[in-house]
Structure 1
Amino acid sequence: MSTNSPAPKPVHPLARKLRFARILNVVLGAVTAFLLVVVIAQSVPGAEQAATADTAQTPAADASGSGSGGGSEIATRDPDDPLAIGDVDAPVVLVEWADFRCPYCAVVTNQTLPTIFEEYVEKGLVRYEFRDVAFFGEESIDAAVAARAAGEQGRFPEYLEAVFAAAPEKGHPDMPREKLIGFAATAGVPDLAKFEQDLDRADLRDAVLASTDTAQKLGVTSVPFFVAGDQAIAGAQPIENFRALLDEQLAAAGE
């Protein structure tokens, strides 16, 4: 009778980095708190015993409150981020890297993200932060620039939906300028003339290239790719996998 246990699920290198960073943050927090206690004990007569007794609780409380569930090493929680959706103070941040010409990114956006938004984002439990990458050529850059331009007019979620709703089941769709403008009209971008001018902005193009470079340095070599807390998953995963990921991180955050 076989007693072989199932093979462990492979862990992406980025997840290992996140876990190591969390452990390091906890250790550094504990050391800092201990040194602070020592300074207080030395400067206040009779304080040493009481301060030392509190040391075991203080670092642990700080580490669990500030580091768990939020993906602090990756998430920015920038309140002015036009590519983010949801409460900036949500307990958990789900970060996605995607290319607008990626068919699997379209699958996730069309079939999975609406459920995540309904069950987690709209309830203030999860914040969604989008990271654009251009893995499939110049037109991927153009599409990401267009999404950023739409985001500056407050229509990023609608533009994201419009682009991926029109995606084919297979292959990398063409993204000519006229199509990008058409998506803006579908998304309800209020100033289409400004949007069209913004398609030629060098700063938006540079931002896309910088985002792509950062992703590659983190080890994100395929899309869609997601991080929440110290966990990373790749591909168009079923909604059950996302629920398991987010529920685990919410529990780690004390929710």
Structure 2
Amino acid sequence: MAKLFLLAIPVVIGVITGTFLADFPAETEARTLTSTKLIDNGSPILGSSDAPITILEWGDYQCTFCYRFHQDTLDKIDEDFIKTGKVKLVFKDFPLNGPDSVMAAEASYCANDQKKYWQYHDELYKNWGGEKTGWITRDSLERFAISVELDLEKFNACLDSGKYQNHVLSSYKFGQEIGIDATPSFLIFNDEKVMKIRGNQPLEIFLKSFEEL
């Protein structure tokens, strides 16, 4: 998946909820971004690495609408598209809500050191407690680690070391550079074009993007 992206035919779907589905990025950026560059330094792939369509989700673990996406939409996409090999998902951190979001993102990569990224990722959203309410703490992150059966000594050593802080902040910076400005945001692409969905939109909008690709 190293082909250069080509601009897609503009697609804008307007509905009451303010759906935004359009080509991304600008032409000059489209000629330099590859699928490999987009997903580099993201999460492990959820689904088959050979799936023809990729969803790149930009999210924040404190974000209300990210939580709603995981509650309302992702399960259906997972069941019908990811598990069937049609689509794969990569998550990238865009910690808009400050240091607690950064720390939660770091913890997810410490879990990945033990091959349990997605289990920990899901545990974070399962225990979501609002935006900037103080639910993300060292104690809560440790409880989540216990829930997914991580080696606590290794997990805590990783988190204490700040091993993945630059990784998370680099993801945030890269998102800003390519025009990500809200969570959740999604880049959905194949080897020929890339489309953007901004916000927690209805399942139908994601299905439309799959059809377009």
Q: Does 1:243 align with 2:207?
A: yes
Q: Could you tell me which amino acid in structure 2 is paired with residue 221 of structure 1?
A: D
With CA pairs under 8 Å and 6+ residues apart, which has the higher RCO, 1 or 2? 2
Q: Could you tell me which amino acid in structure 2 is paired with residue 75 of structure 1?
A: I
Q: Could you tell me which amino acid in structure 2 is paired with residue 220 of structure 1?
A: I
1:223 aligns with: 183
- The structure-2 alpha-carbon separation of the partners of 1:188 and 1:14, relative to structure 1 and needing over 3 Å to count, comes to farther
- The structure-2 alpha-carbon separation of the partners of 1:244 and 1:13, relative to structure 1 and needing over 3 Å to count, comes to closer
Which digits, 9 at most, give the CA deviation of each residue in 1:159-208, with x for residues without a partner? 1111111213x53342110001111122232x121011111233301100
- The structure-2 alpha-carbon separation of the partners of 1:91 and 1:138, relative to structure 1 and needing over 3 Å to count, comes to same
Q: Describe the SS at the equivalent of 2:39.
A: coil
Q: Does 1:15 align with 2:15?
A: no
Q: How does 1:106-255 map to 2 (within 5 A)?
A: 106-168=67-129, 170-174=130-134, 175-189=136-150, 191-229=151-189, 230-249=194-213
2:57 and 2:92 in contact (8 A); partners too: yes
Greater Cα radius of gyration, structure 1 or 2: 1
Q: Describe the SS at the equivalent of 2:84.
A: coil
Alpha-carbon separation, structure 2, partners of 1:171 and 1:138: 12
Instruction: Give the structure-1-normalised TM-score.
Output: 0.68
- Alignment RMSD: 2.7
Cα distance, 1:231 vs structure 2: 0.6
Alpha-carbon separation, structure 2, partners of 1:21 and 1:213: 16
- The structure-2 alpha-carbon separation of the partners of 1:163 and 1:173, relative to structure 1 and needing over 3 Å to count, comes to farther
1:48 aligns with: none
1:83 aligns with: 44
Gaps of 5+ in 1: 1-6, 26-66, 250-255
Gaps of 5+ in 2: 1-11
Alpha-carbon separation, structure 2, partners of 1:121 and 1:248: 17
Alpha-carbon separation, structure 1, partners of 2:104 and 2:170: 15
Alpha-carbon separation, structure 2, partners of 1:232 and 1:20: 16
Higher helix share: 1
Cα distance, 1:72 vs structure 2: 5.7
2:70 and 2:125 in contact (8 A); partners too: yes
Alpha-carbon separation, structure 2, partners of 1:91 and 1:8: 23
Q: Could you tell me which amino acid in structure 2 is paired with residue 128 of structure 1?
A: L
Q: Describe the SS at the equivalent of 2:174.
A: helix
Cα distance, 1:122 vs structure 2: 0.7
Instruction: Give the structure-2-normalised TM-score.
Output: 0.80
Q: Could you tell me which amino acid in structure 1 is paired with residue 162 of structure 2?
A: A
Alpha-carbon separation, structure 2, partners of 1:179 and 1:239: 31
Q: How does 1:14-53 map to 2 (within 5 A)?
A: 15-17=24-26, 24=31
Cα distance, 1:83 vs structure 2: 3.2
1:14 and 1:219 in contact (8 A); partners too: no
1:75 and 1:93 in contact (8 A); partners too: no
